[in-house]
Chain A
């Protein structure tokens, strides 16, 4: 899952980006409204974490423009403005959630997870595909009742595929949703990670769940 963080206060931007990356998200960070808009238009983000008091273009304007261009990302406003008016204005302009600074980082993570679920119309934190079970709140993967250990990157790809179970997901999709701008572009990074994932998921002789569609991409689901 890919997150865009638009925040002008450097300590918060650095820490939140670091924390989100450690939680397995691909994060791009912008430090003003104009840069944030540029990122939002050029990338495909699942969640945009948006500060309101931003230089160049303020947060509410950024939000307004995103919604005008029907940007599909869910937006979490993260701001020190805490009056009811501010919240109402933000939510009415199309924000999906609102978190007032200072905040507990755990809460930010929980809200981001909830927004990701909302984006993929999944209301329960668990995603089930055949005998595969992904708990997005604890970021754990189980297959046939047994826990499968995965790295953050592997988890991110698996969750992305699971959110689109049964549908073909291209490498570009994965690249855009799971890797941030800073990631080294490599032709087979995704293939290698998928290979690792398959090995872990098929341990104990379980049938294959991630199928390759030659020339297209991958599909998560029971064998056809």
Chain B
């Protein structure tokens, strides 16, 4: 069950109010009841003491001397009080007419602090009784009998007190109910008022258009409790917007990268087919198309590899790889173009030990780094290829001359489709995906790759991978 904030607030606060009111009412009721009962008991005790003071021993005879008192309450037929006096031997010395021969339950206590208790009166009404044992005074000089103590019990109906208490209870319950209802109403208003900024915020968020990622939630009237929410939300929107922009730019680049060679293919074929031509012309057009198709293939393969790496769909094998051999193998297909560009190649392959890593992924990375150096070195310049290893990691360092990149630009080489210039002359051959691919591959292998622009127009790529996989390869 989903509760609204408002319902939850009202429910819990109303419940708390009700509990507090109930406790207060109960306390008040008990205090009043105790007070009333105390008063009742005191009146009862006063009457009992008064009656007791009239008792007198005349020799062995107990003289009641009740004539001077109003004993009406013990005699009336309707809601009477009860009085009974016992002698020590248990004989009844006095029994009020209201008792009509029945007995009260005997209580024993002293006259100073006579015990009072709740009883059911002989006629079935609830009442309170007081009882004590005392020794009446002695008339004249004759000594009292040996067992001079008498026990007196006095009982009265508590109907009057009970009626007051019942009224009080009704009043308390009524007041309590009204108070709870009132507080719930006031709370409802207060909560509605208090939650208005939340509703406003919700409406503003709902009003954000899906397309407009630049929009932010403006909540100048938001209470301080909501400011973190607004801030976080705006942070999130900004991150989403940035991600979207990157994605959009990437899509645009992909579109360009695919459209341009496609346009080249189409135009080459279109123009070739415009009029009848010599075989040599067709052959030239076909060769052109083949070249473009190979470029297109490179772009598509790089894009696919990147997409798989991004999606974490690449399985990393654990092969024992000799890095020096791997670098030499990767160089093989580039040797002819390095010769054609009259590049001076310096070798320093120091890592002859085996590295446990993924052979084909590392090969892809090294190949791209080497190709980048061969393509970007100036004609007649140099390429230095160096491998070193220590007990933990192995490093491949490739340096080429003829770089025109500034140190700041060197940071961008791992961005997809980034090029030193807007140049798209070399679409496909180095489409701006090679080094980003290297970075992704090396990351998957648990290593790192950096690019630096050195003094004198040298560009250096350093690729470091751990000698063993970072985590034990899962079986």
Contacts and interface: CB of A to CB of B under 8 A. Distances in A.
B263 A12 contact: yes
B264 A11 contact: yes
A176 interface: no
Interface residues of B, number: 27
Interface string B274-295: 1100000000000010011000
A106 B270 contact: yes
A105 B260 contact: no
Interface in A139-182: none
A78 B454 CA distance: 38
A212 interface: no
A137 interface: no
A94 interface: no
Contact of B252 (A9, A31, A81): A81
A102 interface: yes
Interface in B413-469: 421-425, 427
Given A18-B271, A106-B270, A53 B288 contact: no
B274 A105 contact: yes
A82 to B, nearest CB: 7
Contacts of A8: 423-425
Given A58-B422, A81-B252, A19 B260 contact: no
Given A19-B270, A105-B271, A105-B274, A12 B255 contact: no
A11 B274 contact: no
Interface string A4-28: 0000111110111011001000000
Binding site secondary structure of chain B: helix
A214 interface: no
A19 B266 contact: no
A19 B275 CA distance: 10
A16 B271 contact: yes
Contacts of B423: 8, 32, 54-55
B246 interface: no
Interface in A78-130: 80-83, 100-106
A12 B267 contact: yes
A103 B263 CA distance: 6
A15 B266 CA distance: 10
B255 A15 contact: no
Contacts of B427: 9
A56 B270 contact: no
B287 to A, nearest CB: 11
A32 B274 CA distance: 27
A181 B271 CA distance: 22
Contact of B260 (A12, A14, A55, A58): A12
Contacts of A55: 421-425
B268 interface: yes
Contacts of A15: 264, 267-268, 270-272, 288
Contacts of A9: 260-261, 263-264, 424-425, 427
Given A54-B422, A55-B425, A105 B270 contact: yes
A148 to B, nearest CB: 20
B8 interface: no
B196 interface: no
B266 A102 contact: yes
B263 to A, nearest CB: 3
A8 B275 CA distance: 26
B285 to A, nearest CB: 8
B192 interface: no
B422 A53 contact: yes
A136 to B, nearest CB: 17
A144 B270 CA distance: 35
Nearest to B424: A53
Contacts of B117: none
B342 interface: no
A101 B262 contact: yes
Contacts of B267: 11-12, 15-16, 19, 102-103, 105
Interface in B213-252: 252
Contact of B271 (A10, A19, A56, A80): A19
A55 B422 CA distance: 5
Interface string A51-76: 00111101000000000000000000
Sorted nearest first, the 9 A-B pairs with minimum C-beta distance are: A101-B263, A11-B264, A55-B423, A105-B270, A102-B263, A19-B271, A80-B259, A15-B267, A80-B256
Given A22-B274, A102-B266, 18 more contacts: A9-B263, A9-B425, A9-B427, A10-B425, A11-B288, A12-B267, A15-B272, A16-B271, A19-B271, A22-B271, A54-B423, A54-B424, A80-B256, A80-B263, A101-B260, A101-B263, A105-B270, A105-B271
9 contacts: A9-B425, A9-B427, A11-B288, A19-B270, A53-B256, A80-B256, A101-B263, A103-B266, A105-B274
Interface of A: 8-12, 14-16, 18-19, 22, 31-32, 53-56, 58, 80-83, 100-106
